[in-house]
Amino acid sequence: MTATHRGERALSSFPGLAERLAAVQGQIADAVRLADRSADDVTTIVVTKFHPAGLIEALAELGVHDIGENRHQEAQAKAQQLSALDLRWHFIGQVQGKKARQVRAYADVIHAVDRESLVSALASTESVVDAFVQVNLTDDPARGGASPDAVLPLVERVLETPGLRLLGLMAVAPLGAAPRAAFAQVRELGERVRQVAPDATKLSMGMSADYADAVAEGATHLRIGSAITGNRPIER
């Protein structure tokens, strides 16, 4: 069976998927227009964690190129299984130091670089991977990310490490706080990052519940799961 036939068959297994994707794309287009931004500056990553590989085939059939996963073993298996498709794999979860080289092998973009030991573990003289430094907007270290004070030193570390190309900052809005204010904080921090890394212009922020606010504050990479995929089969 050809990839297209597989994709068409996959699509029929996920009723409502095409409609949800189109609805979210429409909302993003509205937010982009409202913010007076260019649609080309905003990449939508569809987060497919916990969903079967068939869902990703269906998304590819619908024209999606950017796929987000947050658990190494699951991401690795899906990337291998779907290597024939033209996809960009975004690893959006926390990376264990001892798995760093394996994640590099299939990920096109690593979103959660949050500590110096991970930067060292990701170093390579053979290939270059795109990376975001994650900033933690809460007081809870378990939420992942470097504290705002630690971001600039970490950025400098990334810049001096071979094999990493810094795209910019990544963040998750804190629970129970206004997302727009949190995203504004990331945007301001991003401006400081650009003083030392002029090419690091990207901001990975905005999920199903808050992507319009993220677009308003300059997000370039939206990570959207359930609003497109529907509820995840297993929730942690």
Ligand X SMILES: *Cc1c(COP(=O)(O)O)cnc(C)c1O
**Binding region for ligand X (CB under 6 A):** 47, 49, 70, 92, 172, 207-208, 223-227
| Nearest CB to ligand X, comparing residues 43 and 208 | 208
Q: How many CA atoms lie within 13 A of 42 on its CB side?
A: 29
Q: How many CA atoms lie within 13 A of 49 on its CB side?
A: 19
Tokens 């810094």 found at: 166
| Nearest CB to ligand X, comparing residues 6 and 132 | 132
What 3-state DSSP class applies to 227? helix
Minimal CB distance residue for ligand X: 225
CB of 136 to ligand X, least distance (A): 12
| Nearest CB to ligand X, comparing residues 187 and 221 | 221
Q: Please state, as a whole number, how many other Cβ atoms lie within 10 Å of the Cβ of residue 6.
A: 18
- Using alpha carbons, select from 57, 75, 79 the residue that is nearest to residue 13: 57
CB of 143 to ligand X, least distance (A): 10
- Using alpha carbons, select from 162, 75, 60 the residue that is nearest to residue 111: 75
DSSP H helical ranges for the chain: 3-12, 17-34, 53-61, 72-81, 100-106, 116-122, 148-159, 179-196, 211-216, 226-229
CB 41 within 8 A of CB 220: yes
CB of 160 to ligand X, least distance (A): 26
CB of 220 to ligand X, least distance (A): 14
* Separation of alpha carbons 169 and 133, rounded Å: 5
| Nearest CB to ligand X, comparing residues 47 and 215 | 47
Q: Residues, the chain, total?
A: 236
CB of 207 to ligand X, least distance (A): 4
| Nearest CB to ligand X, comparing residues 60 and 172 | 172
| Nearest CB to ligand X, comparing residues 6 and 91 | 91
| Nearest CB to ligand X, comparing residues 201 and 226 | 226
CB of 154 to ligand X, least distance (A): 18
* Separation of alpha carbons 66 and 72, rounded Å: 17
CB of 18 to ligand X, least distance (A): 18
